Amino acid sequence: MSQEATSTADVPLMGTVLAVQANYYQVRLNPSLLAPLSEKGKALRSSPLLLCTRRARLKKLGQQVMVGDRVEIVEPDWAGGRGAIASVLPRKSQLDRPPVANAEQILLVFALEEPPLDPYQLSRFLVKAESTGLDVRLCLNKSDLLTIEQQQQWHNRLEQWGYQPVFVSVRQGNGISEVRNLLKLRISAMAGPSGVGKSSLINALVPTVNLRTSEVSGKLSRGRHTTRHVELFTLPDGGLLADTPGFNQPDLNYHPHELVNFFPEARQRLTQQTCQFSDCLHRDEPNCAVRGDWERYEHYLAFLEDAIAHQEQIDQQADPESSLKLKTKRGRRQYEPKLETKYRRHSRRTQHQALQELYQEADELQ
């Protein structure tokens, strides 16, 4: 057993989990901290990979290990490329479906054409991405199918939404280096509907992607296409990219009052002025700072209805008597009687419809 990869015996051996399959973890050891920044990407790619198990103690503690986790490795067997994970560093962030730790941003990919860019669907994905609390970057592919003027129109429109989209044509090789720059030295999660060119983009960003997949042997490679398998692709200049298929099934796991925070342009309005009521839902309450003449306000209202229906369902599941509680809650809203009517409009039928829609959407996105 050689010690060449450890500088000194008492420095813990740290690495990043790149792939998880069943009880095996593929871990890339951290490059030397002494590597100059410009060399870091190169160092990241060339540092050794170990196939690791999880120490029994972690299992007992119920400590899950996810891709993106920073872990301490013990008992390295350099010749056999094996090791064991002894501990997991606290996570800076955690995505649950699929499980990815320490991601800093979501790279949302949509196509401008084929399929045509649908503002409502885009909004829905953006809101879902924003709800993770991570930075959200927008990448618009198939720019080869639009004129420069049409691209400019989308650019201006999305700027109003609070985004600076990167225009890409994987087919023509345009914009790829811009995307690379966005992903440099960070963990990012890619999301977007199918057919927009995500796989094509990954292939363009990670030229060795097929090579790397076939490199991984035994238990890891067998799970390549199963849903339980999650993998971080290593980009040539040091970023890590997770393809997040589970992210494509829209769910509404946020509270109605949170929703406004997932619209950058609404957040902007709230920095300039506050609403009269601290529990304002920004519908028809008096002196609301959010309601107004901005394009996606309609989307906000539609998503709010969904979120309220979802919340009512959760309340009811938690406590079958909750309709009474809801009434008490509404009782406090005497300043705004219309609100009461709107709440009540969420009959079982509406909830059912919302659910149906969700299932349909999830099906379409499969």
* Nearest distance in Å: CB 52, ligand GDP: 30
Under 8 Å between Cβ of 102 and 187: yes
DSSP, res 275:
-
Partners of 231 in the β-ladder: 19
- What gap in Å lies between CA 117 and CA 19, rounded to an integer? 32
Stretch that binds ligand GDP, among 168-176, 209-217, 223-231, 343-351 (CB under 6 A): 168-176
> Which position among 141, 188, 234, 248 is part of the footprint of ligand GDP (CB under 6 A)?
141
Q: Is the dihedral of CA 288, 293, 299, 302 positive or negative?
A: positive
126 makes contact, choosing from ligand GDP, Zn ion, none, with CB < 5 to 8 Å by partner type, with: none
Q: Which residue, among 15, 29, 121, 110, has the nearest Cα to 69 in the 3D structure?
A: 15
| Helix, strand, coil percent content, the chain, rounded in steps of 5 | 40, 20, 40
> Which position among 135, 144, 315, 361 is part of the footprint of ligand GDP (CB under 6 A)?
144
> Which position among 54, 70, 142, 269 is part of the footprint of ligand GDP (CB under 6 A)?
142
Q: What one-character-per-residue DSSP string does 65-76 give?
A: --BT-EEEEEEE
Site string for ligand GDP, 173-212 (x = CB under 6 A): ---------------------xxxxxxx------------
* Nearest distance in Å: CB 274, Zn ion: 8
Please identify, using beta-carbon distances, which residue of 172 and 273 lies nearer to ligand GDP: 172
Stretch that binds ligand GDP, among 152-160, 169-177, 267-275, 344-352 (CB under 6 A): 169-177
Identity (one letter) of the amino acid at 150? Q
Stretch that binds ligand GDP, among 136-144, 159-167, 278-286, 304-312 (CB under 6 A): 136-144
196 makes contact, choosing from Zn ion, ligand GDP, none, with CB < 5 to 8 Å by partner type, with: ligand GDP
194 makes contact, choosing from Zn ion, ligand GDP, none, with CB < 5 to 8 Å by partner type, with: ligand GDP
* Nearest distance in Å: CB 291, Zn ion: 6
> Which position among 102, 123, 132, 169 is part of the footprint of ligand GDP (CB under 6 A)?
169
288 makes contact, choosing from Zn ion, ligand GDP, none, with CB < 5 to 8 Å by partner type, with: Zn ion
Stretch that binds ligand GDP, among 28-36, 55-63, 120-128, 166-174 (CB under 6 A): 166-174
Reading phi first (left if > 0) and then psi (alpha if -120 to 50, else beta), residue 308 is in: alpha
Residue 309 has which token pair? 């229906």
- What gap in Å lies between CA 220 and CA 215, rounded to an integer? 10
> Which position among 44, 170, 280, 309 is part of the footprint of ligand GDP (CB under 6 A)?
170
- Contact set for ligand GDP, span 25-84 (CB under 6 A): none
Residues that bind Zn ion (CB under 5 A): 275, 280, 282, 288, 290
Residue located via tokens 């989307």: 299
- Contact set for ligand GDP, span 254-273 (CB under 6 A): none
Reading phi first (left if > 0) and then psi (alpha if -120 to 50, else beta), residue 251 is in: beta
Q: Which helix (H) or strand (E) holds 240?
A: strand 240-243
Distances (CA, A) of 146 to 14, 114, 140: 46, 11, 11
Stretch that binds ligand GDP, among 153-161, 167-175, 222-230, 286-294 (CB under 6 A): 167-175
Distances (CA, A) of 126 to 58, 84, 93, 116, 344: 35, 38, 18, 17, 28
Please identify, using beta-carbon distances, which residue of 32 and 287 lies nearer to Zn ion: 287
Please identify, using beta-carbon distances, which residue of 70 and 282 lies nearer to Zn ion: 282
DSSP, res 115:
T
* By CB under 6 A, residue 157 contacts ligand GDP: no
Under 8 Å between Cβ of 214 and 23: no
Buried/exposed code over 134-164 (b: 16+ C-beta within 10 A; e: otherwise): bebbbbbbbbeebeeeebeebeeebeebbbe
200 makes contact, choosing from Zn ion, ligand GDP, none, with CB < 5 to 8 Å by partner type, with: ligand GDP
> Which position among 14, 117, 145, 206 is part of the footprint of ligand GDP (CB under 6 A)?
145
Instruction: Summarize as ranges the residues that interact with ligand GDP (CB under 6 A).
Output: 141-142, 144-145, 169-171, 194-200
